[in-house]
Each structure stands twice: as C-alpha cells, then as structure tokens.
Chain A
C-alpha cells in the first residue's frame, strides 16, 4: 500500500501535534508535582514549628491545606509578643497572625541580625549577667519557638526583664 504525499504530510503533522501536546502535558504535570511537594514540605515545617492543627483536603494540584492554631501556637506567640513589646525592633507580625498566614509569620522570625541585636540588648539591659556575657541569635529563637534556655543567664535575664514570670520556690 503506497501512501500519497498528502497523507504522509498529514500523518507527520498529526504525530507532531500529538508529541507536542504530550510533552507539554508531562512538563506541566512535572512542574505541578514539584510545586505541590514544595508546598507540602512548607506546610509540614510550619505545622511542626508552630504546633498547628492541619486539615489536608487535597494533596494534589491544586493543593488544599487548612492550618489552625493550638494552645502550643498561642504559647509561642505570647513569648514573641512579650519580647516585641519591650524591643519593637523585633517585629511581631500581628496582621499575618490574625490572617493565620503562617508562612508569612515564619518569615518575620528569620532575620538573624535583628534577633542578635535584641538578645544583645537584653543582656545589656539586665543587671544579672556579668560583663562580657552574651548569647547568639539562636538563643532568642529557641526561647521563642521552643521555650528553651540554651545559654547561660538567659532564663535569669528574661525573668529580670519581666518577660518570664518569677519561678515559684517550694
């Protein structure tokens, strides 16, 4: 069976169009899957870091995840707010918190220079630490996020500045 030139051209055009559409579909699908994976990792991290509740309605494109604050989240925000009220250079993202835009909230605590500046100022303002004592930005970060006292004097400094309540003694 010999095909005419017209049919040959037609078949080549059809095959080319089919190949182009297939390629477009697979590339788009791949990009969507990558975006979904990145978004799910962001949701995972933010859920863990802020102790949020999460409802996953769809984990495929378009992704649908709802996040809700818990008592653990409120405790983090209270520590953050208490420091921000005394040291306003540490931004407390009230609008993002009210909008429950947790990814934006997280970005507000990423400026390590500000965290270092504030913790240095705290050590300077307090009468507790001796001359030369200091802390790194992670000290403030770990206190706000995890309620940890990972450096000498930080707990006493926080109590001295009225950010943490005085410990009850038996």
Chain B
C-alpha cells in the first residue's frame, strides 16, 4: 500500500514537471518579440521611445535600436535581449545622448555582450553611408528610420578608432564626407 502511494506521488510530480516544461516551451514559442521589446522598454521607464531596428544576432539573441525622451529623442539606446526558458529576457542596455545641432551625423562606440556596435543619428536626407577605415576596410552601415534617422554597424571584426564616412542621398549623390572618431575605451 505504502509503495503504491510513493509511486503515485512520484508519477504526479514527474507529470507536473513535464507539463510545466512543455507549458513554458509553448509560451516562449508564441511570445511575440515586439511585445517583449515593448515590455522591456516600459520596464526601463524610457518614456516615449521610437524603435529604429531589430537585429537578430541568432535565434536567441536580439539587438534593439531605439531613441527616447520626448520631444527631442536625443537619447539613443541599444538593448540586448536573450531568449531563455523564461522567454525573452533583458541582458543589457546602453543609452547615449547625441545632439544633431550643426552636425551631419554623430556616432559612438559601445560593446554589448561580445559585439562591438557603432551607431548614431544622421539626417533624413541621407539614404546610404559608406565607411572607409584607415586600414582600407569598407563597411555599409544599416540605416533605421523613425522619429530620427540612425545609422548602425554591428562589427564582427576589430573595431576602429576613426574612419571616413561618406553620406549619399537617394540619387546616389554625395551629400557630405566626414571623419568620425570613436572612443574604444568608453565608458571607462
């Protein structure tokens, strides 16, 4: 009789664990990334934010580029989320103040997780940017559009301290050329 009770209790516990596991899996699979981002930004208390781009680094990691602070939206953020057994979870976020007064573009370097990221605001008339480093590397950063325009580059190789940025309009005409410097030791 006692043995039977032990078996029943053990089976019940195992069943509960299996149901819980599949329950979490089901919830996580159906969790909408945009809802998760909205929730995480809400929890950060960054008021009236604009999302420029969502970049999946792999199936379980995502970078979100956004700006916040009504009405100027001059605080530019990047946030990393990771998918765990509890669903999409906050890993880290960095917010940089970048004002566009009398500037064609701004840019900062930041390391999030194991990724080096360069990013900053630029004007709406800029449709394409080319980056040429001193050692001859060339990059084409993505451009995200919302309240402002931002450019961003997720680097797989070594970051650079300065590079020439060539800005083009929709017709492929060069709008501006400028050398930007990056502090690779920020924020130390």
- Residue numbers of A with Cβ under 8 A of B are 37, 40-41, 43-44, 47-48, 51-57, 59-60, 66, 68, 70, 72-73
Bound Cα distance A55, B187 (Å): 9
Bound Cα distance A41, B43 (Å): 10
Given contacts A47-B97, A53-B94, A55-B92, 14 further A-B contacts (CB under 8 A): A44-B44, A47-B95, A48-B75, A53-B96, A53-B97, A53-B187, A55-B93, A55-B187, A56-B44, A56-B79, A56-B90, A59-B43, A60-B90, A73-B97
* Cross-chain contact B75 with A47 (CB below 8 angstroms): yes
Question: Given contacts A37-B45, A48-B69, is CB(A54)–CB(B95) below 8 Å?
Answer: yes
Return chain B residues, CB-CB under 8 Å to A51. Answer: 74, 97, 99
Q: Please pick, from B44, B94, B99, the residue contacting A72 in the complex, using a CB distance under 8 A.
A: B99
* Cross-chain contact B44 with A70 (CB below 8 angstroms): no
Bound Cα distance A43, B92 (Å): 15
Bound Cα distance A102, B130 (Å): 38
Bound Cα distance A40, B45 (Å): 6
- Residue numbers of B with Cβ under 8 A of A are 43-47, 69, 74-75, 79, 90, 92-97, 99, 186-187
The 5 closest A-B pairs by CB, nearest first: A56-B93, A51-B97, A40-B45, A54-B95, A44-B45
Among A41, A53, A66, A68, find the residue whose CB has the most chain B CB atoms closer than 10 A. A53
Q: Please pick, from A44, A56, A70, the residue contacting B92 in the complex, using a CB distance under 8 A.
A: A56
Return chain B residues, CB-CB under 8 Å to A41. Answer: 45
Return chain A residues, CB-CB under 8 Å to B186. Answer: 68
Q: Which residue of A lies closest to B96 (CB)?
A: A53
Return chain A residues, CB-CB under 8 Å to B97. Answer: 47, 51-53, 70, 72-73
Q: Which residue of B lies closest to A42 (CB)?
A: B45
Q: Which residue of A lies closest to B47 (CB)?
A: A44
Q: Nearest chain A CB to B182's CB is how many angstroms away? A: 14
18 contacts between A and B (CB under 8 A): A37-B45, A44-B47, A47-B75, A47-B97, A51-B74, A53-B95, A55-B93, A55-B95, A55-B187, A56-B93, A56-B95, A57-B92, A59-B43, A59-B93, A60-B90, A70-B96, A72-B99, A73-B97
